[in-house]
Amino acid sequence: MKKNVAVIGYGGQGSWHCRQIQNSDVVTLAGIYDIEPKKCEAAENNNIRVYESFEAVLEDSGVDVVVIAVPNDSHKEMVIKALEAGKNVICEKPVEMSVAAFDEMAEAAEKSGKLFSVHQNRRWDVDFLAMKSIVESGEIGDLIRIESRIHGSRGIPSDWRCTKAQGGGMILDWGVHLIDQMLQIFAEDKIVRLHCSTTNITNTEVDDGFKLTLYFESGREAYVEVGTYNFIAMPRFYMQCKNGTAMITDWTKKAHVAKLKAWHEKDVLPVQTAAGITKTMAPRDEITLDEYDIERPVSDVHDYYRNYCAALGGTQKPLITLPQVRRVMQVMELAFESAEKKQVLETNI
């Protein structure tokens, strides 16, 4: 039987959840609650039931799952209340603003025996899945370094995302997705050092971009960058492996792979540069390098709710686990510390 879901917050993401739920094969929409009367009116106009309060949602025994899609500073209080009321809970990302706050939520989940999950929906992004599958297949050998970037040019949104107390800024907003993706690739490798620097080009209160490098025990590296003042965007993904390079220029594009066929080349033709010639930087030819695109993987974001319901029914393990969510939170917390201290930090996570 389909699970009944109520959504708290009918803003950008809450209304996205409602549309997903209305088109789902595993969940149905019980209704919404939003603190803003205008948002409630909008929901009613879309024929969605509106609860009169958060408490009314929690008191409705017909509601199996509560989705928390409000600004980040209200996540902890609402998640804990919902768990204590006996509801299963899905919280929007970032789960909270500190590891300590997350631990309180995880403890409440443990006590309640209910299923608590965080909506890390960008695990279903096809660009990320393409890079992950190239690493896992070993097609171009062992990973050396992967770079994950998103570049926009419009600054950060002018809503609560500009306010530090509400959990604004790009580390918490986009960083949480990109770090979560990276840690899926490096699930078995420990981070031993990290460095982060932030930008404040369009506003001063929160970061409007950041550059984060993660150094792993294995010697591999991951680089994560978010920019909101980049009028020319760099590639979405760039990855060096022992036997080749892979790149995705943007969300909509296939992965392009350059695979080494032979290391040694005969008679390399030097390339002319401004101040002289170079063989070191001369491009390779098809005798030693094979270049091709990889088909985009098939992905369905409805699988998030499918997995959540299967986990509720005990037929699948949750794909998004609380230890994974905690590790992402730890990285974000260290990223803020590194940026503030302007230091490389040692760690073991």
Contacting residues toward ligand NAD, per CB under 6 A = 8-14, 33-36, 39, 54, 69-72, 74, 92-93, 119, 121, 159-160, 173
Task: Please state, in angstroms and rounded to a whole number, the distance separating the CA atoms of residues 114 and 133.
Answer: 33
Q: Among 65, 53, 127, 124, which Cα is nearest to 90's? A: 65
CB closest to ligand NAD, residue no: 11
- Helix, coil or strand: residue 242: coil
User: What type of residue sits at position 178?
Assistant: L
Task: Please state, in angstroms and rounded to a whole number, the distance separating the CA atoms of residues 215 and 193.
Answer: 5
β-pair partners for 27: 3
Cβ of residue 58: shortest distance to ligand NAD, in angstroms?
Answer: 12
Cβ of residue 74: shortest distance to ligand NAD, in angstroms?
Answer: 5
21 contacts 29 by C-beta, under 8 angstroms? yes
Cβ of residue 228: shortest distance to ligand NAD, in angstroms?
Answer: 15
Cβ of residue 42: shortest distance to ligand NAD, in angstroms?
Answer: 9
β-pair partners for 214: 194, 222
- Helix, coil or strand: residue 105: helix
Cβ of residue 26: shortest distance to ligand NAD, in angstroms?
Answer: 18
Closer residue to ligand NAD in complex, CB, 36/84: 36
Closer residue to ligand NAD in complex, CB, 69/143: 69
230 contacts 202 by C-beta, under 8 angstroms? no
Closer residue to ligand NAD in complex, CB, 36/250: 36
Which helix (H) or strand (E) segment holds residue 83: the answer is helix 75-84
Q: What phi and psi values does residue 38 have, to the nearest 5 degrees?
A: -60, -35
Q: How far lies 292's CA from each of 41, 192, 244, 253, 260, in Å? A: 51, 35, 12, 13, 12
Cβ of residue 275: shortest distance to ligand NAD, in angstroms?
Answer: 47
* 30 HSE (CA, 13 A, CB side): 21
Cβ of residue 221: shortest distance to ligand NAD, in angstroms?
Answer: 26
Q: What phi and psi values does residue 105 have, to the nearest 5 degrees?
A: -65, -45
Q: Among 78, 8, 245, which Cα is nearest to 147's? A: 245
> Residue 136 has which token pair?
């896992």
Task: Please state, in angstroms and rounded to a whole number, the distance separating the CA atoms of residues 301 and 12.
Answer: 17
Closer residue to ligand NAD in complex, CB, 50/260: 50
Cβ of residue 261: shortest distance to ligand NAD, in angstroms?
Answer: 40
Cβ of residue 78: shortest distance to ligand NAD, in angstroms?
Answer: 7
- The size of the chain, in residues, is 349
Closer residue to ligand NAD in complex, CB, 173/213: 173
Cβ of residue 179: shortest distance to ligand NAD, in angstroms?
Answer: 14
DSSP for 40-75, please give it: HHHHHHTT--B-SSHHHHHH-TT--EEEE-S-GGGH
Closer residue to ligand NAD in complex, CB, 39/220: 39
